[in-house]
């Protein structure tokens, strides 16, 4: 007479089923990785820069249509929503079972320009070198689009459908800071209604270490123009008595930092401290690729400087080039400056005090014009929420490593706009970037393991979100 197997308790049965689903999703995501890399290659090949002065606008439109088609194939009702800045946002919706949570998945299909100088591969061709894949947008942010799609494919493949209502939002002008989607959200908040919003535009503190981003810096950008004379003047005949616009501009820009590199804008706190996880100094120096002898700036810790304090960068200058330069005083000079602000700082206030500083720092009575060039609010996540805890567990299960928290020095202005439109929504931030990805720079890349891990984490999160 055979031995009768003991029956599982209800709790044991539920645990067994959950483990089975997790294993099925793990295998599904792994099997979908070749398609994910094919998708990434197709997206990288589209030169989707939201600036017609840099790339053909048809490339941007092509990328938008590609995302629409991908969402349609997954059973979503998809459309292109024109935004006030002239770009299109993909909005795709799936209506899940009644009573289940509503989840919004965000990313963007536009990218930064990619001048070929400095690139070791063609920026518009996905190229593998070692264990990474190179190409503009591979990490920021087309890799995140692919992670979203892979997660959804895995759920559909293993479950036959999706466990909740899902809205995919993929915009086309995030990198330009023109606030097209933010203004669209303000005018059409009902289209973005959700219980939980996953912002797929950040990354892990290192490859294989799952990281939830809990703070985003906001951004204020200005174009500063200094004018002195009607025309160029001979530097021998007039130099020493007539102010040079280039020199005046340099003086203004130099006044924005002290000797340690701290921002010195009256009205902005340059001594705040970061209360979350640390960023080890030696790892930061390695991640940043500082040259021998180059010092890390700021008087606080790395985390303080990146996530709790303002940062000011000169991101563009209009001056005569060295090649072909003539001995003349410049009648005008122009620079674009970008000020990153931590959570708790109002961007309108930041812009006001920045403009005041520029004008007060202008020497010799030179004329100064300050033109707004972009603005976004900072954001701090609620870490004491059901969605945060579920995502944290999903990340740990997907990567096999305890989850970490960090801030994000970059800005995602849409996050604050979504929060203002739906203050009761739980917003969490993840992504496929890592310190070696070189987003916005030459030789941008992504580690395929980050796409696979994020896709699995997101699939597990969507599967388990409804459980309390």
For 127-183, the pLDDT digits (tens) are 999 999 999 999 999 999 999 999 999 999 999 999 999 999 999 999 987 889 999
Active-site residue (options: 88, 171, 174, 244): 174
Which CATH superfamily includes the segment(s) 10-216+378-464? Zn peptidases (3.40.630.10)
Give the Cα separation of 452 and 399 in Å (integer): 9
Q: Architecture of domain 218-272+309-376 in CATH?
A: 2-Layer Sandwich (3.30)
DSSP output for 359-390: HHH--TT-EEEEEEEEEE--EE--SSSHHHHH
Question: What residues contact 14, with CB distance under 8 A and at least 6 apart?
Answer: none
Neighbours of 338 (CB within 10 A): 18
pLDDT in tens, 55-81: 999 999 999 999 999 999 999 999 999
Q: How far apart are CA 436 and CA 182, in angstroms?
A: 29
Which pLDDT tens digit goes with each residue over 89-110? 999 999 999 999 999 999 999 9
Alpha-carbon distances of 462 from 26, 44, 103, 104, 167, rounded to whole Å: 14, 27, 8, 11, 12
Local confidence pLDDT in tens for the 468 residues of the chain:
455 555 656 555 556 566 777 899 999 999 999 999 999 999 999 999 999 999 999 999 999 999 999 999 999 999 999 999 999 999 999 999 999 999 999 999 999 999 889 999 999 999 999 999 999 999 999 999 999 999 999 999 999 999 999 999 999 999 987 889 999 999 999 999 999 999 999 999 899 999 999 888 889 999 999 999 999 999 999 999 999 999 999 999 999 999 999 999 999 999 999 987 788 899 899 888 899 999 999 999 999 999 999 999 999 999 999 999 999 999 999 999 999 999 999 999 999 999 999 999 999 999 999 999 988 888 888 888 999 999 999 999 999 999 998 888 766 778 888 999 999 999 989 999 998 999 999 999 999 999 999 999 999 999 999 987
Q: Does 110 participate in catalysis according to the annotation?
A: yes
Per the structure block, which two tokens stand in for 394? 């999903």
Enumerate the domain spans of the chain. 10-216+378-464, 218-272+309-376
The beta-carbon contacts of 124-132 under 8 Å, at least 24 apart in sequence, are 124/44, 124/45, 124/46, 124/47, 125/41, 125/44, 125/45, 126/37, 126/40, 126/41, 126/44, 126/45, 129/445, 131/447, 131/448, 131/449, 132/436, 132/445, 132/446, 132/447, 132/448
Burial of 323 (0-12, 13-18, 19+ CB in 10 A): exposed
Largest CA distance in the chain: 113
Distance of CA 264 to CAs 139, 267, 298, Å? 33, 9, 11
Do the domains 218-272+309-376 and 10-216+378-464 match in fold? no
Triad 106, 110, 116: Cα angle to 5°: 140
**Tokens found for residue 47:** 């030169």
Dihedral sign computed on CA atoms, order 135, 141, 143, 149: negative
Catalytic residue among 59, 88, 110, 426: 110
Q: Which residue is it, tokens 């100094």?
A: 281
Query: Residue 256: CA atoms inside 13 Å, Cβ hemisphere, count?
Result: 20
Q: How many CA atoms, within 13 angstroms, populate the side-chain half-sphere of residue 147?
A: 36
Q: Is 175 annotated as catalytic?
A: no
């Amino acid at each position: 007479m055979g031995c009768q197997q003991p029956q599982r308790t209800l709790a044991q049965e539920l645990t067994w089923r959950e483990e089975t689903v997790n294993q099925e999703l793990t295998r599904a995501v792994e099997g979908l990785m070749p398609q994910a890399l094919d998708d990434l290659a197709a997206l990288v090949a589209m030169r989707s820069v939201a600036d017609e002065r840099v790339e053909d606008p048809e490339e941007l439109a092509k990328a938008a249509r590609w995302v629409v088609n991908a969402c349609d194939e997954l059973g979503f009702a998809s459309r292109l929503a024109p935004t006030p800045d002239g770009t299109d946002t993909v909005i795709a919706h799936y209506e899940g079972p009644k009573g289940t949570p509503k989840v919004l998945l965000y990313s963007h299909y536009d990218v930064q320009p990619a001048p070929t100088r400095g690139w070791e591969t063609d920026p518009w061709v996905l190229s593998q070198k070692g264990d990474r894949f190179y190409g503009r947008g591979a990490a920021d942010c087309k890799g995140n689009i692919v992670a979203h799609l892979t997660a959804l494919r895995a759920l559909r493949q293993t479950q036959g459908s999706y466990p909740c209502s899902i809205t995919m939002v993929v915009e086309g002008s995030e990198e330009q800071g023109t606030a097209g989607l933010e203004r669209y959200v303000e005018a059409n908040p009902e289209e973005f209604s959700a219980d939980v919003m996953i912002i797929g535009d950040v990354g892990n503190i290192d490859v294989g270490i799952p990281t939830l981003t809990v703070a985003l810096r906001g951004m204020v950008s200005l174009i500063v123009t200094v004018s002195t004379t009607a025309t160029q003047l001979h530097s021998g005949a007039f130099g020493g008595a007539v102010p040079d616009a280039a020199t005046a501009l340099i003086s203004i820009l130099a006044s924005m930092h002290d000797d340690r590199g701290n921002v010195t804008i009256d009205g902005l706190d340059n001594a705040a401290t970061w209360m979350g996880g640390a960023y080890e100094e030696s790892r930061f120096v390695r991640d940043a690729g500082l040259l021998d002898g180059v010092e890390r700036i700021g008087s606080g810790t790395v985390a303080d400087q990146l996530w709790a304090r303002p940062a000011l960068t000169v991101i563009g200058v209009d001056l005569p080039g060295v090649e072909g330069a003539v001995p003349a005083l410049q009648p005008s000079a122009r620079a674009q400056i970008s000020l990153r602000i931590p959570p708790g700082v109002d961007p309108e206030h930041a812009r006001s005090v920045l403009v005041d500083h520029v004008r007060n720092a202008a020497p010799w009575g030179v004329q100064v014009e300050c033109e707004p060039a972009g603005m976004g609010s900072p954001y701090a996540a609620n870490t004491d929420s059901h969605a945060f805890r579920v995502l944290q567990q999903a990340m740990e299960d997907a990567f096999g490593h305890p989850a970490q928290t960090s801030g994000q020095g970059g800005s995602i202005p849409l996050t604050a706009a979504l929060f203002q439109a739906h203050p009761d929504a739980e917003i969490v931030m993840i992504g496929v970037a890592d310190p070696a990805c070189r987003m916005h720079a030459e030789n941008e890349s992504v580690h395929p393991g980050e796409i696979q891990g994020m896709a699995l984490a997101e699939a597990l999160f969507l599967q388990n979100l409804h459980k309390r």
